[in-house]
A and B are shown apart, each in its own frame.
Chain A
Amino acid sequence: MAGSKIGYIACVETGGRYIGALMVTDGAGIPLEFKYTEPIKPTRIQAILYGGALERYIKLEVIRRKLIKALQNRPDVIFVNHSDLSLLGLSEGIPVVALQLAHIPPIGGAGEIKRPKENELIAQAQEGSDPLRLIFAGLEQDAMDRVTALVIDAGRAADLAEPLERIEKAIEALLKESSAKENG
């Protein structure tokens, strides 16, 4: 699938502040665009008003939607770490899917797919490497099929899960810089 654009989103909460980042790469993992939100700190009143929905609201409506809307490069899919399943779904018409290395032996040759659950898929993108595990939520079957095809195709050339680590490191650096500014 030549010309694929792949997005990666991550959201971190620390000390009551939320920060989110979204990176779009080409099929080889080269960053085309990187955007992040400045730290968001809900007030005490907001915490009371939103209650248990506060975190979800911040992640979906403030961070995910705003970051996607600000993009200049529209990705075919956006991947998120398995630890943040609240971000899954369809946003601005773009599927947001959880992705991680499955840490199991290869399930077969490159291109092999297994579907252990209705919303979960194991894909062998590269020969001999750990398979990829994808989790879907709120997507139609054809959207899931398109994402699967992209993972198999783009996954041959690059480690698709790796940019998630990169974006998390970038957020760490941003938080450090932000703390330094506050203290300085």
Chain B
Amino acid sequence: MFSRAREAIRRAFRRILDSIFHGIKGFEIRSVSCEIGVQASDLDYSFSRVITDLKFAFPKPHIGSETIECSICSLTATIEARLAEDSQPPVPDTQVIEITAGIDAGEVCEDAMALNASEVKSVPAAISSELRVNAVQAVMPTAKLYSVKGIRAGEGTIVVDGQRWAAIVPMTRKAADFYRLPAEERVRLWKVLVAQAGKRPNELELIGVFPGVPVRSIKRLGFESGSRRLRIWLDAAKNKGGDDTPTRTLILARERASGKLHRVFDNK
């Protein structure tokens, strides 16, 4: 296992170096070597078909006979970005995946996940009473001048209470850049995923980590693969808002073999 990981890193590193130094005259990469500073326990949680999370160090990568110590800091950022890119799940752009299966983190979303799309689009009854026009609660002194032809001519500008629009438009959460998180945090999140999914690490492929998900207000979730965003339709009945709206980090992964999605909430 360890040698496989080492070889995978070496190949990835070589590929990245090739792309970085491609076309630069007088710079020929003859060999690449690297040391892997990784413990077996970390490896269990991090190594799988694609490189998703590996704790490793590049102490002195060699290019030919030269050591590129001076540029390794800037290279590391590039390398991490490229590794992240290489690890993206092979999902076509713009596809929205409905997240209906998964392991619950206890208290959240069980019934919410079962709802279908048509229900989501209806205006929740709970807020329809607020859907009233606060007619002439507003406007400017010269209201007559600002009449709107064909819409509300003669009434001027009015402010409308439109809470239903806020419920219809989904909240979105962008996937955190996994490779910018501290290494300990990455390993911890993998451990949470593996423990709650009940799968072995190499059976799972990480799709994304989404911080700040309001766990008690979710009606339905969707993942937009092109933009790597989570769409969260809020449940009007649970959508109270307020001082203590809890948020958690959602970890989304899929089983490599079956494609089954797993969503787990970080308990931290």
Contacts and interface: CB of A to CB of B under 8 A. Distances in A.
B249 to A, nearest CB: 10
A17 interface: yes
Given A31-B166, A166-B171, A128 B148 contact: no
A147 interface: no
Given A70-B159, A170-B162, A28 B247 contact: yes
A43 B163 CA distance: 30
Q: Main SS of chain A's interface residues?
A: mixed
Contacts, number: 151
Interface residues of A, number: 52
Interface string A143-170: 0000000000000011100110110011
B162, B163, B174 — most chain A CB neighbours (10 Å): B162
A155 B131 CA distance: 30
B259 interface: no
Contact of A181 (B151, B217, B241): B151
Interface stretch (A60-68, A86-94, A113-121): A60-68
A128 B242 CA distance: 27
Contacts of A2: 243-244
Contacts of A174: 162, 165
A38 interface: yes
A3 B165 contact: no
Contact of A31 (B134, B174, B180, B241): B241
Interface in A42-64: 42-43, 45-46, 61-62
Contacts of A170: 162, 165-166, 168-169
Interface string B223-252: 000000000001000011111111100000
Interface of B: 77, 134, 137-140, 145-146, 148-152, 157-163, 165-174, 176-177, 180-182, 185, 211-212, 214, 217, 234, 239-247
Closest 5 CB pairs of A and B: A128-B180, A31-B166, A34-B166, A30-B241, A28-B245
